[in-house]
Chains A and B, each alone.
Chain A
Amino acid sequence: MHELSIAQSLVELAAEAAENSGIKKVKALFLKLGVLSGVVKEALEFSFDVVVQGTSLEGAKLIIEDVPVTIFCPNCQEERILPEPLPMRCPTCGTKTGQVLAGREMELYALEGGEENA
């Protein structure tokens, strides 16, 4: 369970990013979470609520978008989205591939400021 460390990093990064973007009060954080990121969404949400208390981000909402695995199929020469994280196989032609293009990310995608920032 390392979601607490991840939540800590997320809050630090978001606070820094908010300051750099001139956002005084953060209303929401938009996070992209790959299904291969190794992070459990519910545990991260829980940890975020704990970590955010007493920081400049207190009261902000965490909105998580799940990102499926995208692979590159060497046979089709196409990018393919996998319906499930496993197996690592082209859903169209069945070719196995180790080329993962997306699905591992843990990215703070955007921040939403509160009314006073408008």
Chain B
Amino acid sequence: MHDLTLNPRIVEIRQNVLKKNDLLARELRKRFQNVGVYVVNLVSSPGAGKTTLLTEVLTRLGKRYRTAALVGDLATENDADRLRQSGAKVRQITTGTVCHLEAEMIERTLQDWELETFDFLFIENVGNLVCPASYDLGENQRVVLFSVTEGEDKPVKYPTIVNSADTAIITKIDLAEAVDFQRKRFYEALNEVRPGIRIHEVSARTGEGIDEWISQLEADKSAFIHSSGSL
């Protein structure tokens, strides 16, 4: 593109197309940091088990922390109703036809919330492994979920979202044997796309791996508070 400057009618702009979203996400992140709430953005295909896992995590985490969740879907309040069973404060975001959550939706939904009354906020994105990748929601951590039934090469099929994630969670691990889940192949696929990504294996049904993930989240939160303090 260097030859562009030879044309006098060409003006350099150099701005991110999603600048508005990025700026808003940055503001949100600052707000979250100021009040000390740790924010996790969950992304996966439809049916990977985000809501089931999150209900379980909120229930366990809720015994020691103040928890909240936002959940995005094209339509219905069903997921919010399910998540509420955990006792957490939950609000549904219905996007209509939009296939992902954007920072502006988060800001609007949180407007009348007193964020300082929470320790953890989970954002369950719309079930989609493509579009949510491009939109920063101001989260501290992006978690991508895959269920054992989805096929071991799925991370390679959706490199953008995997590459943008901090943690990968393998759900429905209790079914691994039944579906002949090839653990090694799956780990290899993840590492092709995002070398060094943290991996947890969980089952919301049997409870396997959930406390381990919660311990990790607690550690992440305290590391985050520690780093905020030094700012």
Determine if chain A interacts with chain B.
yes
> A residues bordering B, Cβ < 8 Å?
1-2, 5-6, 9-10, 12-14, 17, 21, 23, 27, 30-32, 36-39, 65, 85-89, 96-98, 100, 104-114, 117-118
Docked-complex contact A87 and B193, CB < 8 angstroms: yes
A residues in contact with B194, CB < 8 Å: 88, 98
A residues in contact with B134, CB < 8 Å: 2, 6, 37-39, 106
Query: Assuming the A-B contacts A36-B163, A109-B1, A112-B9, are A86 and B192 also in contact, with contact meaning beta carbons closer than 8 angstroms in the complex?
Result: yes
| A86→B145 CA distance, assembly (Å) | 20
**Stretch from B18-26, B31-39, B53-61, B72-80 contacting the other chain:** B18-26
Query: Assuming the A-B contacts A2-B100, A36-B160, A86-B156, are A108 and B13 also in contact, with contact meaning beta carbons closer than 8 angstroms in the complex?
Result: yes
Docked-complex contact B9 and A38, CB < 8 angstroms: no
B residues in contact with A39, CB < 8 Å: 134
Docked-complex contact A6 and B11, CB < 8 angstroms: no
* Nearest 9 interchain pairs by C-beta: A2-B131, A38-B160, A96-B195, A87-B192, A38-B133, A106-B17, A113-B9, A21-B11, A17-B13
* Distance between B179 CB and nearest chain A CB, rounded to angstroms: 25
| A25→B196 CA distance, assembly (Å) | 48
For the complex, is B197 an interface residue (Cβ under 8 Å from A)?
yes
A residues in contact with B21, CB < 8 Å: 9
Docked-complex contact A111 and B10, CB < 8 angstroms: yes
> B residues bordering A, Cβ < 8 Å?
1, 4, 7-21, 98-100, 102, 130-131, 133-134, 156, 159-161, 163-164, 191-197
Q: Is the interface of A mostly helix, strand, loop or mixed?
A: mixed
* Distance between A62 CB and nearest chain B CB, rounded to angstroms: 11
Residue of B nearest to A14 (CB): B13
Interface CB pairs A-B, < 8 A, 21? A1-B131, A2-B98, A5-B98, A5-B102, A5-B131, A13-B15, A27-B9, A30-B10, A36-B159, A37-B160, A38-B134, A38-B161, A65-B1, A86-B193, A89-B195, A106-B17, A108-B17, A110-B4, A113-B10, A113-B11, A118-B8
* Distance between A46 CB and nearest chain B CB, rounded to angstroms: 16
A residues in contact with B4, CB < 8 Å: 30, 109-110
* Distance between B141 CB and nearest chain A CB, rounded to angstroms: 15
| A89→B191 CA distance, assembly (Å) | 10
Query: Assuming the A-B contacts A106-B134, A112-B7, are A86 and B17 also in contact, with contact meaning beta carbons closer than 8 angstroms in the complex?
Result: no
Query: Of A6, A27, A85, which is within 8 A of B17 by CB?
Result: A6
Query: Assuming the A-B contacts A1-B131, A98-B194, are A23 and B12 also in contact, with contact meaning beta carbons closer than 8 angstroms in the complex?
Result: no
Docked-complex contact A23 and B11, CB < 8 angstroms: yes
| A39→B18 CA distance, assembly (Å) | 12
B residues in contact with A88, CB < 8 Å: 163, 192-195
Query: Assuming the A-B contacts A38-B130, A38-B161, A98-B195, are A110 and B11 also in contact, with contact meaning beta carbons closer than 8 angstroms in the complex?
Result: yes
